[in-house]
Structure 1
Amino acid sequence: MSEVPFRPREVLLEKQKYFQSIYKHTYLKGPHDKITSVAIPAALAATSLFFIGQGVYHMSHGIGKKE
């Protein structure tokens, strides 16, 4: 008893040839991988550094203290 494949074999062979022909890191091989692997983490790091800097500035100048 054999299962029906999810995709046709031809499509899988095309994708294998595509991914094996690219000489990049494995996490940057897809068409939109630079967005998810580089841009989003860089944006998160930038915003967190901004908020950390803002917090240090506010603490050093005593802004926003509750009495």
Structure 2
Amino acid sequence: MTEPGFLARERLLKRQQLFQSIHKHTYLKGPYDKITSVAIPLALALASGTLIVRGIYNMSHGVGKKE
């Protein structure tokens, strides 16, 4: 017994042809992949870098201590 596919066969073939014709890296082929693969990690790296620099500044100048 065979199960029906998730997508119609014609629609699946059309998407396969689309993805096979794009000459990009595999992880950047979808429409929103640049957001998830580039923008979010870049934002996290910038935020963590900012916090690290702030912590080093506070430790070197002795500010921001809890009493």
Normalised to the residue count of structure 1, the TM-score between the two structures is 0.94
1:14 equivalent in structure 2: 14
2:43 equivalent in structure 1: 43
The residue identity in structure 1 corresponding to 2:3 is E
Regions of 4+ moved over 4 Å: none
Question: For structure 1, which runs of at least 5 residues remain unmatched after alignment?
Answer: none
The residue identity in structure 1 corresponding to 2:26 is T
Q: How big is each residue's C-alpha offset from its partner over 1:28-54, in whole Å with a ceiling of 9 and x where there is no partner?
A: 011111111000000000000000000
Counterpart CA distance in 2 for 1:34 and 1:51 is: 25
Question: For structure 2, which runs of at least 5 residues remain unmatched after alignment?
Answer: none
Residue 17 of structure 2 aligns to a residue whose secondary structure is helix
Number of aligned pairs? 67
Determine what percentage of the aligned residue pairs are the same residue.
Answer: 66
1:23 equivalent in structure 2: 23
The residue identity in structure 2 corresponding to 1:22 is I
Deviation of 1:7 after TM superposition, in Å, equals 1.0
Residue 13 of structure 1 aligns to a residue whose secondary structure is helix
